[in-house]
Amino acid sequence: MPDKQYKFIISGGGTGGHIYPAVAIANEIKRLHPSAEILFVGAQGRMEMTRVPEAGYKIIGLWISGLQRRLTVDNLSFPLKVISSVRKAYQIIKDFQPDAVVGVGGYASGPLLYAATRMGIPSLIQEQNSHAGITNKLLAKKVDKVCVAYDGMYKYFPSAKLVLTGNPVRRDIANLDGKRLEAMDFFGLNPARKTFLVIGGSLGARTLNQSTEAALQKIQESGFNLIWQTGKNFYPQAQTATQPYLEDQIKAFDFIRRMDLAYAAADVVISRAGALSISELCLAEKPSILVPSPNVAEDHQTKNAMALVQKDAAMLVKDVDAGRKLWGSAFALAADTEKQQLLRRNIAQLARPQATEDIVQELMKLIK
């Protein structure tokens, strides 16, 4: 019997923390239903307009952005953007005729999910963080199902709609066995050395970047490799900073497309504490030092990090202390194999490898 040709719209973006869960959901739908047709809807000018086509999916952009906290020209045009985006969302849905829609947070998911729910299309939102985003909070009363990654989310969403699934993570990160030598070859690193991986999120992290730049000399002298994801803005400075060092030892990248290989290469990871990063670290089972960003709503990255720290599953260095403490802690952890094993064992217990499958299962229930 041929597979029914389902049609889905997935909407949201703005950062990798929204985009990669969206792509993971799309990939799982295609794995289960190869003939399914999937359309993404994002915000014009945001990173999803590049990253989603790179993942092999079509995307349409809406003219939408967030409200700024100060009076700007963008704020004055915000009502016009909302009206324009909702109208375009209605037209997209009318033309595409989806069986269901998924919102992952970010500006574009608001107009698209609003239009879809008004048109009676089955709808699901996926919230990655322990503190719900404003778009998802606004949509929760209208959608059919809310998939979350943390306990206690009834503070933000109707409990009858909640399903605790975990965060969708790319399948390749769930299976790193046997990839280390491939990873070393991919990054051009000496496989005889232990490796630090520094990831500041898809947009980079100034504190992590500045602390790492200051530690480059010691990293080389101590005989470690470094894979350093800087984000786009800091990358030119990082390129200049890494030039004096050995090419097979210290590598800076604005963006890493093969995160499975980055994790496979890493012995110790230094990371922001975004929800997606934490979900990936749990699956990859990596000893980690988390440096929560202070520039997020309700300090939710610290809450994300503490969920691990309290279970001896990760270490924490505050952003304000990173310049003084981060690399001292990193070198100490790299030298302490017992501590690494403890962190690895405990973080593995927090992984939810079936999260993406569970979310797609909830989505299919809405259709059937």
Q: Judge whether 2 lies within some domain.
A: no
| Domain extent for 88 | 7-167+354-367
Query: Measured at the alpha carbon of residue 294, what is the angle toward residues 220 and 139, in degrees to the nearest 5?
Result: 125
Binding-site residues for UDP-N-acetyl-alpha-D-glucosamine, in ranges, read: 15-17, 129, 170, 202, 256, 301
Q: Judge whether 199 lies within some domain.
A: yes
- Identify whether residues 155 and 30 lie together within a single domain: yes
Q: Does residue 69 register a pLDDT over 90?
A: no
- CA–CA separation, 210 and 215 (whole Å): 9
Q: 12-23 pLDDT, tens per residue?
A: 887 777 888 999
Q: What's residue 71's pLDDT?
A: 57
Range 275-282 average pLDDT = 92
What's the whole-model pTM score? 0.84
Q: Judge whether 295 lies within some domain.
A: yes
Binding-site residues, in ranges, read: 15-17, 129, 170, 202, 256, 301
Q: Judge whether 111 lies within some domain.
A: yes
Lowest mean pLDDT among 61-70, 210-219, 347-356: 61-70
Q: Does residue 155 register a pLDDT over 70?
A: yes
Lowest mean pLDDT among 199-208, 231-240, 273-282, 332-341: 199-208
Q: Judge whether 109 lies within some domain.
A: yes
* Half-sphere CA count of 323, side-chain side, radius 13 A: 4
- Identify whether residues 106 and 225 lie together within a single domain: no
- Identify whether residues 214 and 127 lie together within a single domain: no
- Determine the straight-line distance between the first and last CA of the chain, rounded to whole angstroms: 17
- Sheet of 162-164, strands arranged across: 58-62, 37-43, 7-11, 100-103, 123-127, 145-148, 162-164
Contact 279, 305 (CB under 8 A): no
- Identify whether residues 202 and 310 lie together within a single domain: yes
Q: What is the CATH number of the domain that holds 138?
A: 3.40.50.2000
Handedness of CA 211, 217, 222, 228 (dihedral sign): positive
- Identify whether residues 191 and 161 lie together within a single domain: no
- Identify whether residues 312 and 180 lie together within a single domain: yes
- Identify whether residues 91 and 178 lie together within a single domain: no
- Identify whether residues 194 and 302 lie together within a single domain: yes
Range 140-167 average pLDDT = 92
**To the nearest whole percent, how much of the chain has pLDDT over 70?**
95
Q: Judge whether 71 lies within some domain.
A: yes
Number of domains in the chain: 2
- Identify whether residues 270 and 361 lie together within a single domain: no
Q: Read off the pLDDT band of 83 (50, 70, 90).
A: confident
Q: Judge whether 70 lies within some domain.
A: yes
**To the nearest whole percent, how much of the chain has pLDDT over 90?**
71
Find the length of the chain: 368
- Identify whether residues 205 and 263 lie together within a single domain: yes
- Identify whether residues 204 and 134 lie together within a single domain: no
- List b or e across 37-51, with b for residues whose CB sees 16 or more CB atoms inside 10 angstroms: bbbbbbbbebbbbeb
- Identify whether residues 70 and 113 lie together within a single domain: yes
Q: Judge whether 12 lies within some domain.
A: yes
Range 115-134 average pLDDT = 91
Q: What is the mean pLDDT of the chain?
A: 91
Range 139-148 average pLDDT = 94
